[in-house]
């Protein structure tokens, strides 16, 4: 096991190994993959669902197969999204801090009932579907947008609409879709402007889905009432490390002005890409990763392989993994 992320400097540690196991923010760009291939690596086992940091087309050209963990306890992430909603809505983080300051006043802690509110879920795969079920239990009107509507969600009474209609009607919008060229900054300034004044935005999917500068402007203007983020589009140098233990010069190399601005808002709650972090999810990730490595070792067909689409040149997920 190698501490630290995969990059052009650490890739040479893979010399003499046929496979490497990567996580969500490891650098899988073409230059790094070339180093891995030169070291003899022919298989990448991603211990996560996302693969947007992997140049899958370059991997194939270098003879490197890529497999992922397509789903691991989607309830973990769905429940985290609910946690962000409830904490922001009822100002739990502010109430907690006040208690430590001997401030037991109620001013500024007024929230709203989630029951009866309209919540829009963008992406109804395993995680989005699990979230829809929880929201229906709260008594919410649930809208959804997905290129492939889920029969399961429709059976729960979820209404599928266009993304624009979802943004216009929802009190809360929660993102649960992959980061692809077609979804990069899908929540843009124009789409943020479509949202209800004071609406809440939740993102437990991929940071690149949201235009950070546009979100900052929407928060500053008051148009967006709150944002709960478990991801950030430039989280790579920040998350999964304790920067507080670093020397100042080293820490400043990871300084991100926009991230600091986001953190400063009292109506923004950020967690360090930890929505997946439950005992059940970790066990599932380990089990599927072992399956992927075993199939590779035995020369079997990879059940959870990610391949480049021959027509569009972008990754696609084989049938059965949606």
Tell me: the pLDDT tens digits for 70-87? 888 899 999 999 999 999
> Residue 150 and residue 129: Cα distance in Å, rounded?
8
Give the model confidence (pLDDT) of 247-284 as tens digits.
787 778 778 899 999 999 999 999 999 999 999 999 99
Q: CA 239 to CA 186: how far, in whole Å?
A: 23
Cα–Cα distance measured from residue 260 to residue 107, given in angstroms and rounded to the nearest whole number: 26
The DSSP bridge pattern shows strands 307-308 and 315-316 to be antiparallel
Q: What is the pLDDT of residue 237?
A: 78
pLDDT value of position 319: 35
Whether the Cβ atoms of residue 66 and residue 44 lie closer than 8 Å to each other: yes
> pTM for the full model?
0.85
Q: Could you read off the pLDDT tens digit of each residue along the chain, which spans 322 residues?
A: 777 789 888 999 999 999 999 998 899 999 999 999 999 999 999 998 888 889 999 999 999 999 999 888 899 999 999 999 999 999 999 999 999 999 999 999 999 999 999 999 999 999 999 999 999 999 999 999 999 999 999 999 999 999 999 999 999 999 999 998 999 999 999 999 999 999 999 999 999 999 999 999 999 999 999 999 999 998 877 887 778 777 787 778 778 899 999 999 999 999 999 999 999 999 999 999 999 999 999 999 999 999 886 444 444 443 334 3
The DSSP annotation for 63-88 comes to T-EEE----S-HHHHHHHHHHHHHHH
If you ran DSSP here, which 8-state letter would residue 259 be given? H
Q: Cα–Cα distances in Å, from 275 out to 92, 204, 248?
A: 18, 7, 29
**Beta-carbon-side half-sphere exposure of residue 316 (alpha carbons within 13 Å):** 9
How do 43-46 and 19-22 pair as beta strands? Answer: parallel
pLDDT at 322: 38
Active site residues: 206, 235, 273
Output the pLDDT for position 313. 40
């Amino acid at each position: 096991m190698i501490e630290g992320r995969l990059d052009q400097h650490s890739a040479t540690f893979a010399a003499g190994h046929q496979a490497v196991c990567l996580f969500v923010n490891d650098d899988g760009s073409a230059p790094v993959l070339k180093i891995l291939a030169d070291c003899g690596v022919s298989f990448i086992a991603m211990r996560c669902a996302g693969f947007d940091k992997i140049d899958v087309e370059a991997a194939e050209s270098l003879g490197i197969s890529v497999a992922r963990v397509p789903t691991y306890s989607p309830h973990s992430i769905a429940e985290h999204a609910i946690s962000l909603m409830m904490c922001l809505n009822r100002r739990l983080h502010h109430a907690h801090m006040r208690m430590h300051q001997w401030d037991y006043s109620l001013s500024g802690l007024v929230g709203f009932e989630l029951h009866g509110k309209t919540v829009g879920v963008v992406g109804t795969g395993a995680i989005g579907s699990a979230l829809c079920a929880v929201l229906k239990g709260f008594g919410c009107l649930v809208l959804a947008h997905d290129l492939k509507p889920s029969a399961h969600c429709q059976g729960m009474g979820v209404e599928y609409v266009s993304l624009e209609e979802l943004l216009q009607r929802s009190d809360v919008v929660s993102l649960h879709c992959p980061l692809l060229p077609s979804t990069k900054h899908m929540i843009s300034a124009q789409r943020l402007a479509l949202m209800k004044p004071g609406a809440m935005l939740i993102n437990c999917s991929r940071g690149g889905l949201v235009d950070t500068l546009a979100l900052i402007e929407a928060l500053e203007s008051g148009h967006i009432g709150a944002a709960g983020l478990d991801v950030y589009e430039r989280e790579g140098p920040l998350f999964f490390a304790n920067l507080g233990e670093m020397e100042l010069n080293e820490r400043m190399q990871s300084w991100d002005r926009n991230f600091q601005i986001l953190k400063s808002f009292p109506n923004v709650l950020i967690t360090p890409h930890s929505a997946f972090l439950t005992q059940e999810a970790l066990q599932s990730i380990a089990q599927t990763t072992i399956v992927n490595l075993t199939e590779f070792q035995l020369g079997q067909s990879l059940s959870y392989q990610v391949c480049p689409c021959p027509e569009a040149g972008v990754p696609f997920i084989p049938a059965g993994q949606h």
